[in-house]
Chains A and B, each alone.
Chain A
Amino acid sequence: MGTFELLQMGFGYVFEPSMFIMVVIAIVLGTVFGALPGVSATMAVALGLTFTYTMEPVPAIVFLTAIYCSSITGGSITAILFKIPGVPSSAPTTFDGYPMAQRGEAGKALGVALLASAIGGLVSALAMFLLSGPLTAAALQFGPADLFAITFMGLSILTCLDGDHILTTIISGLIGLLLACVGQDKMYAVQRLTYGSQQLLAGIEMIPVLIGLFAVTEVFKQTNSKKKRMTAEDGITGGKVDTKMPSLKELWQIKWTMVRCSVIGTLVGILPGAGATIASFLCYTMENKISKYPEKWGTGIIDGIAASEASNNAATGGAMVPLLALGIPGGNAAAVMMSALTLKGVQMGPLLLTNQPEYLSATFASMIVTNILMVIVAIGIAKVFAQILAIPYYYLGPIIVMLALIGSYANQMSIADVQIMVLAGVLGIVVKACHFNSAAIVLGLVLGSMCESNFSRAYLMSRANIGQMFSPVVNPIAFVVIIFCIIMLVTPIVMPLIKKAKKAK
């Protein structure tokens, strides 16, 4: 079957009137689920399963894909408005999105988030449709050493997350890495650093720490400050989101950020073990590193939002690639889709693409339509959410606290996570006072276990020979990436010295 017939067939499924209505419903549900803290993209897809029990397999995947893509986008709404990422992969969106909303630029921030999401989603959908075979083959080449190198690259950015406090930022990152070690270790299930606490056996999850360090600390700070922010005069007048879209000129300036992050997000999404969350953290830090004005990152610039949102939506398409090409889901949400399809008797595996190409084309069509419609739908939903912003802070503050509580609890139905969140909220104040860096702690925590596990696997497979692990012959990808990391790590330390030396002359 030719590409054209395939496309025709795929869009045929989506534009069939009853299906189209279902897709619109899926987008609304997905965006709302995604925006609510405590409902991750995986959970959103699982909630959507209920609707698919009576559907045929192809419509089911069309519907679930629409929910999946839009929930990842929905997460940015709460991230920008309340500093609570609705889905974990929107965490880096808070870094710049929330300061923008504070300045009264919530509309612009949301606009960039939605557009970047759509572009990320579209790029990855195209990649999936045209290149799923070669991309899968390439992703399979990534062994543990290469995966370690890539996560290490994410960590090496630490040295420039906050140029004025390099040392304390590194300390924060290391603290994050150490927090990731708490509990039963991921490789051999040996208990570490639990100090005899039953609760810590489960390890320290990223979500409660993140919500605590960001949202709760923010509320604590507001409790002390005299002026209560986020009231009517802050540009969110009368409960309407200022939907003033970012200007074309502004968007044009971040075009390469969006393209780069879409591509990298897609690739990270395909990699085994990495998903939207790691993609968005990696892209945020990488863009920060190569930016012409790294000092502005974290203060509320659209580049940061675009990096995070383009990459996490791109990762959704990435996660679908190995699912359709190999029958190996590229993430938890994809795993839910796989179980839904298996339940319907679809044989997932390398032969699916050849025998039943309609799955690929329908998924593609669904992603394209979703990513376009989503922008319109999500703006509407964002407006509703922003109504909450217009209410006085003595209502809003406690509501944010309760949403934070639900978000931490729902992740694992664990009271311990709620306590960790409160503790992290208090620590957030200490972190500020000591010039440590919250984002670096979270980064260490997110990448920690993936970094360690892959190092451990690579060590085993290279038979305890670290030289061989990064040898250009055995693991060329790892070699290149590690060299890149070393350069990145060393420059911020060496550059000032060189400058000094030059001045001395």
Chain B
Amino acid sequence: MFELIINILLVVFLGVSYFTNVLEAPVPAKVAKNPYAFQPDVWPKVIIILLEICLIINIIQIIKKNKGKESFTLKAFVATIPDFFKSKMFLGIVILTAASFVLETLGFIVTAILVLFFYGWLLGAKNLPTLAIASVLIALVLYIIFSGMLSVNLPRGVGFLRDFALLLESGVAAVKGIFG
């Protein structure tokens, strides 16, 4: 059922996009005027049409295959939804989504500590104090390797978090200076 719903949603979404979002800005006049130019909307439109055809065939196949099955009803599908929201996987998705939104404000170090701790806990770590210490250490090591030594500028965060990140980077730079 889930498969069917996703396929139908795709058909509708792509169908609407075909008419509304393929081109979102004017084509430069000289391109529009050039009789030999491959207009920028053709390629995506062809792909959408092919996709629609394939998806519709797919939908027919799904219905054919599952016809009459007990689990293939909307009701049975709705009944499985609460299980998903209770699952650990859902919590994992929540943790990562949250991390991707706070990353810029909290900076890499704090985000990493939180993710390492909570995800570790979710995966069944027993000894929480050790996990907490390990999270802090791993976050710092990752930051020093990537930001300090490899010039990958990870987000520093704002306010005092930024100052701390900068302090750490200066420290690494100083150590690097000593070794040449």
B72 nearest CB across to chain A (Å): 14
* Residue B81 interfacial (CB < 8 Å): no
Give Cα distance in the complex from A392 to B130, angstroms. 13
List of A residues within 8 angstroms of B38 by Cβ: 187, 455-456, 459-460, 464
* Residue B76 interfacial (CB < 8 Å): no
Do residues B93 and A220 form an inter-chain contact, with CB atoms below 8 A?
yes
Give Cα distance in the complex from A464 to B34, angstroms. 10
* Residue B79 interfacial (CB < 8 Å): no
Give Cα distance in the complex from A429 to B135, angstroms. 27
* Residue A328 interfacial (CB < 8 Å): no
Which residues of chain B (1-53) have a CB below 8 Å from chain A?
2-3, 6-7, 14, 17, 21-28, 31, 34-38, 40-41, 43-44, 47-48, 50-51
With CB as the reference atom, state the residue of chain B lying closest to A190.
B40
Which residues of chain A (374-396) have a CB below 8 Å from chain B?
392-395
Do residues B2 and A422 form an inter-chain contact, with CB atoms below 8 A?
no
With CB as the reference atom, state the residue of chain B lying closest to A431.
B6
Give Cα distance in the complex from A194 to B153, angstroms. 27
B interface, by DSSP: helix, strand, loop or mixed? helix
With CB as the reference atom, state the residue of chain A lying closest to B138.
A399
Give Cα distance in the complex from A148 to B41, angstroms. 18
With CB as the reference atom, state the residue of chain A lying closest to B3.
A434
Do residues B36 and A175 form an inter-chain contact, with CB atoms below 8 A?
no
Do residues B123 and A397 form an inter-chain contact, with CB atoms below 8 A?
yes
Do residues A410 and B146 form an inter-chain contact, with CB atoms below 8 A?
yes
| Size band of the interface chain B makes with A | 35 or more
A47 nearest CB across to chain B (Å): 7
Do residues B51 and A175 form an inter-chain contact, with CB atoms below 8 A?
yes
With CB as the reference atom, state the residue of chain A lying closest to B41.
A192
* Residue A249 interfacial (CB < 8 Å): no
List of B residues within 8 angstroms of A198 by Cβ: none
List of A residues within 8 angstroms of B51 by Cβ: 171, 174-175, 178
* Residue A45 interfacial (CB < 8 Å): no
A395-431 Cβ-contact flags toward B at 8 Å (1 or 0): 1011101110110011001010011011001100110
List of A residues within 8 angstroms of B14 by Cβ: 178
* Residue B165 interfacial (CB < 8 Å): no
Do residues B93 and A430 form an inter-chain contact, with CB atoms below 8 A?
no
* Residue A244 interfacial (CB < 8 Å): no
A319 nearest CB across to chain B (Å): 23
Do residues A463 and B96 form an inter-chain contact, with CB atoms below 8 A?
no
B67 nearest CB across to chain A (Å): 18
Do residues A171 and B54 form an inter-chain contact, with CB atoms below 8 A?
yes
In this complex, which of A402, A430, A433 has the most chain B Cβ atoms within 10 angstroms of its Cβ?
A: A402
* Residue A323 interfacial (CB < 8 Å): no
Which residues of chain A (19-47) have a CB below 8 Å from chain B?
33, 36, 38-39, 43, 47
Which residues of chain B (74-128) have a CB below 8 Å from chain A?
87-89, 91-93, 96-97, 99-101, 103-104, 112, 115-116, 119-125
Do residues B153 and A413 form an inter-chain contact, with CB atoms below 8 A?
yes
In this complex, which of B17, B41, B96 has the most chain A Cβ atoms within 10 angstroms of its Cβ?
A: B96
With A38-B152, A192-B41, A394-B124 given, is the CB distance from A460 to B47 under 8 Å? no
Do residues B88 and A223 form an inter-chain contact, with CB atoms below 8 A?
yes
With CB as the reference atom, state the residue of chain B lying closest to A391.
B134
Instruction: Select which of B47, B92, B123 is within 8 A of A174 by beta carbon.
Output: B47
List of B residues within 8 angstroms of A459 by Cβ: 36-38
With A223-B122, A399-B116 given, is the CB distance from A168 to B40 under 8 Å? no
* Residue B132 interfacial (CB < 8 Å): no
B6 nearest CB across to chain A (Å): 5
A198 nearest CB across to chain B (Å): 12
List of A residues within 8 angstroms of B175 by Cβ: none
B58-76 Cβ-contact flags toward A at 8 Å (1 or 0): 1001000000000000000
With CB as the reference atom, state the residue of chain A lying closest to B20.
A195
Do residues A398 and B47 form an inter-chain contact, with CB atoms below 8 A?
no
With A188-B31, A192-B44 given, is the CB distance from A394 to B123 under 8 Å? yes
* Residue A58 interfacial (CB < 8 Å): no
* Residue A181 interfacial (CB < 8 Å): yes
A379 nearest CB across to chain B (Å): 22
B180 nearest CB across to chain A (Å): 11
Do residues B96 and A425 form an inter-chain contact, with CB atoms below 8 A?
yes
List of A residues within 8 angstroms of B93 by Cβ: 220, 422, 425-426
Give Cα distance in the complex from A219 to B95, angstroms. 12
* Residue B55 interfacial (CB < 8 Å): yes
Do residues B134 and A188 form an inter-chain contact, with CB atoms below 8 A?
no
With A194-B21, A401-B96 given, is the CB distance from A393 to B152 under 8 Å? no
A190-B28, A193-B24, A224-B88 provided; 9 other pairs, C-beta below 8 A? A38-B146, A171-B54, A219-B92, A223-B92, A415-B100, A425-B96, A433-B3, A456-B43, A464-B35
Cross-chain pairs A/B with CB under 8 angstroms, 11 sampled: A174-B51, A178-B14, A188-B27, A188-B31, A192-B40, A223-B92, A401-B119, A415-B100, A426-B93, A460-B37, A464-B38
- Residue numbers of A with Cβ under 8 A of B are 33, 36, 38-39, 43, 47, 167-168, 170-171, 174-175, 177-178, 181, 185, 187-188, 190-196, 216, 219-224, 228, 392-395, 397-399, 401-403, 405-406, 409-410, 413, 415, 418-419, 421-422, 425-426, 429-430, 433-435, 452, 455-456, 459-460, 463-464
- Residue numbers of B with Cβ under 8 A of A are 2-3, 6-7, 14, 17, 21-28, 31, 34-38, 40-41, 43-44, 47-48, 50-51, 54-55, 57-58, 61, 87-89, 91-93, 96-97, 99-101, 103-104, 112, 115-116, 119-125, 131, 134-135, 138-139, 142, 145-146, 150-155
